[in-house]
Chains A and B, each alone.
Chain A
């Protein structure tokens, strides 16, 4: 097999698109808060599209019960998600620059962690954390695009999961109502649909805005 240089990789990405996207994707920086079912699958989609930089943050450790929907494999069990995920992502796209932090994101450290990102993606599990991140980013980083996911549990209609633009900067993905807390499971199919909506919105923003996010 010929060596896969970044030029070869970029040509392969661009060959699946009607116009070149790699250079624009390469210039973009995305932050992902939470590396579970949403965050790990969103990151997978973005590195396959040639994203230039990811800032990843999660304090959690990979458990067997995560394997039903998260990108990790059995040999990652016991590892910090912030260590395991970049390893997987670099096997897909070694040219993506990744900063990965095993930290608990709070209203106090959120701005510092994600300040240099063009887009921040909320991919937490717990509703209080989702609300904290959305409130904090909108208050402290009002110029940054924000994509949040809410409502992807259960075995219901996949078409109920949708992308809704709340403001120019804020996009909400999910069915909005299916709560994982009511004894309703989380499965790969619905979580990955929601992750797909969120990653698709990020790519849409990047390709619409090019490299100038303040136009």
Chain B
């Protein structure tokens, strides 16, 4: 199981790109942290593993 923004989901084996697509989030509008560390965009093809704690920030427009 993987924790995503505080909720437990069976997302192990998915890549970060696949996870973002399943949440209808665009990779270029997000910041993704795994275990409190920022995940570089070049590693978004990384597969999630059991126990990963993922924090996804999806940015919206306005400022």
Partner-B contacts on A (CB < 8 A): 34, 36-39, 123-128, 130-131, 134-135, 138-139, 142, 148-153, 166-167, 172, 174, 176-181, 186, 191
Contacts and interface: CB of A to CB of B under 8 A. Distances in A.
Interface string B12-32: 000000000000000011110
B59 A150 contact: yes
Contact of B60 (A34, A37, A179): A179
21 contacts: A34-B63, A36-B63, A38-B63, A39-B63, A125-B62, A125-B63, A127-B29, A127-B60, A135-B31, A135-B38, A138-B38, A139-B38, A148-B59, A150-B60, A150-B62, A153-B60, A166-B57, A174-B60, A176-B60, A179-B60, A191-B62
B33 A167 contact: yes
Interface of B: 28-31, 33, 36, 38, 40-41, 55, 57-63
Secondary structure call for the B interface? mixed
B33 A150 contact: no
A162 B30 CA distance: 19
A124 B28 CA distance: 15
B60 A177 contact: yes
Most buried by B among A37, A178, A179: A179
A124 B61 CA distance: 8
Contact of A127 (B36, B38, B41, B59): B59
Nearest to A132: B28
A37 B33 contact: no
Nearest to B40: A139
B50 to A, nearest CB: 22
A128 B60 contact: no
A134 B28 contact: no
A38 B63 CA distance: 5
Nearest to A172: B57
B60 A166 contact: no
Contacts of A153: 60-62
A61 B45 CA distance: 39
**Which 7 A-B residue pairs are closest in the complex by CB-CB distance?**
A180-B62, A138-B38, A179-B60, A127-B59, A125-B63, A130-B59, A180-B61
A196 to B, nearest CB: 14
B60 A135 contact: no
B31 A181 contact: no
B19 to A, nearest CB: 16
